[in-house]
Amino acid sequence: MVGFRQQQPLRLTPSQAKPKIEKYCAYQERSHKQVLEKLRSLGLDAQEAGELLVELMQAGFVSEERFASSFVRGKFKLKGWGRKKIELSLKREGLSPRQIQTAMAEIEEPQYEQTLVKLAEKKLSTLKGTEFERRMKVKRYLLGRGYESEAIDQALDQVSF
């Protein structure tokens, strides 16, 4: 192709990358994995990225605990995700089981059940078919959102078909 130049990969020094990554971390909570990926995309090698991550942690820009709590609150309250989907996503971010368990404790059981019933009712209102078909479609939908099968069955017992 004439007229198109291939762009060189970005390569910053640690001192050039530091203000960029601080801004990146200040915008929203980030996991260690996300910060390291961003540093690598800025052209830092693994050692430079690791050293800068330690500096960011010491300065309070990065905290796995804050990230996990923020992630759980956002995915549950804003996106309506269930515990299984949230937990799996946190594992993918490289958080420890203890950090995941602590963050997951922020989901209160009554609110979890209310959200599940509300999602079931909302989905049910969009479906046609026999009661059995609608029930199965709602269950499949809620399983996909990360809710547990037993909790879904309890919620569906509260919903009128």
pLDDT digits (tens, 9 = 90+) for 110-144: 999 999 999 999 999 999 999 999 999 999 999 99
The share of the chain scoring above pLDDT 90, in percent, equals: 89
Average pLDDT score, the chain: 93
Checking if the pLDDT of 11 tops 90, the result is no
Residue 6 confidence (pLDDT): 58
Cβ-count burial of 14 within 10 angstroms (0-12 exposed, 13-18 middle, 19+ buried)?
Answer: middle
Instruction: Supply the pTM of this predicted model.
Output: 0.86
Q: In CATH, what is the architecture of 109-158? A: Orthogonal Bundle (1.10)
Query: For residue 45, which phi and psi values (nearest 5 degrees)?
Result: -80, 175
d(C-alpha 64, C-alpha 98), whole Å: 11
Checking if the pLDDT of 12 tops 90, the result is no
Residue 2 confidence (pLDDT): 57
